[in-house]
Amino acid sequence: MRINKRFYIRAVAIIVVILFAILMAFVGKQHTILLDNKNIEVNGAELKALSIVEIQVDKQPSLELAKRDRDQALVQGQTHTFLVTYNDENWEEIVLEKKVKVPFSEDMLIFSIPAFINDIDDVDSYLQPFEIENVSE
């Protein structure tokens, strides 16, 4: 095979296109995030669901969840901002905000609000992959 300048230009062009395709996959990847306000057990301790909580993912409209409620947010990309607003036992409004990176390979994840409030930095405790089980008779 003759290797000349044209070959290198073509090789670089192909690599650039492949890299661009990978970038598009990362930018356009859609994840379903289930926003869950239910009791949860983390490291042996039971965390109680909040009676009422407001959650906003990225710039999407905020959702209000009561105890045992679950809703979903469809997000595009790999990094997302979660904004949780709730009232503590003294009726003082608390706002928590965190930017979280979502694993690329996961299509559906569950976001536990009580675990998020408990420890905002322990991402693994409140954001976990979720798989729909196929129920067969």
> Which residues form the interface with another protein (CB under 8 A)?
17, 20-21, 24-25, 27-31, 76, 107, 134
Kindly state the smallest distance separating residue 107's Cβ from another protein, in Å: 5
- Return the number of the residue (18 or 94) whose C-beta is nearest another protein: 18
Maximal C-alpha separation, the chain: 77
Single-letter amino acid, residue 105 = S
Nearer to another protein, 24 or 66 (CB): 24
At position 85, the amino acid (one-letter code) is T
Q: Which is nearer to another protein, 29 or 98 (CB)?
A: 29
Give least dist CB 23 to another protein, A. 8
CB of 32: closest distance to another protein in angstroms?
A: 9
Rounded to 5 degrees, φ, ψ at 110 are: -115, 130
Residue 57 · residue 35 · CB < 8 Å: yes
DSSP state of 39: -
Q: Which is nearer to another protein, 4 or 134 (CB)?
A: 134
Contact 49, 114 (CB under 8 A): yes
